[in-house]
């Protein structure tokens, strides 16, 4: 079981498609990760313990941060709080 997440959340007051140019690397990363079949992530499903973050979301975070030459976990966390792209 994974924690639910959506890329179309309505909490943010901005439209990310307007904020980021269409040729931004974040859209490419999203398309690549979404093209991976769901069966590839079935091995990560656990029924015990707290729900985990979905592997797709985690992969998007890691790939986006790597495209910005950020490899440290703490720096990635900082990007998640500061960057619209993340």
Instruction: Return mean pLDDT, the chain.
Output: 83
pLDDT at 3: 74
Q: Over 70: is that where the pLDDT of 17 sits?
A: no
Report yes or no: 85 and 24 within 8 Å, Cβ to Cβ. Answer: yes
Closest CA to 86 of 41, 34, 2, 67: 67
pLDDT tens-digit map of 49-69: 888 888 898 999 999 999 999
Using the CB atoms, write b or e for 7-44: b if 16+ within 10 Å. Answer: eeeeeeeeeeeeeeeeebebeebbeebeeeeeeeeeee
pTM: 0.73
């Amino acid at each position: 079981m994974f924690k639910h997440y959506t890329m179309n959340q309505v909490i943010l007051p901005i439209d990310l498609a307007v904020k980021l140019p269409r040729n931004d690397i974040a859209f490419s990363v999203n398309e690549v990760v979404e093209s991976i079949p769901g069966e590839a992530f079935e091995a990560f499903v656990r029924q015990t313990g707290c729900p985990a973050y979905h592997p797709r979301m985690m992969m998007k975070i890691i790939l986006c941060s790597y495209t910005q030459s950020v490899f440290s976990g703490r720096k990635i966390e900082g990007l998640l709080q500061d960057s619209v792209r993340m």
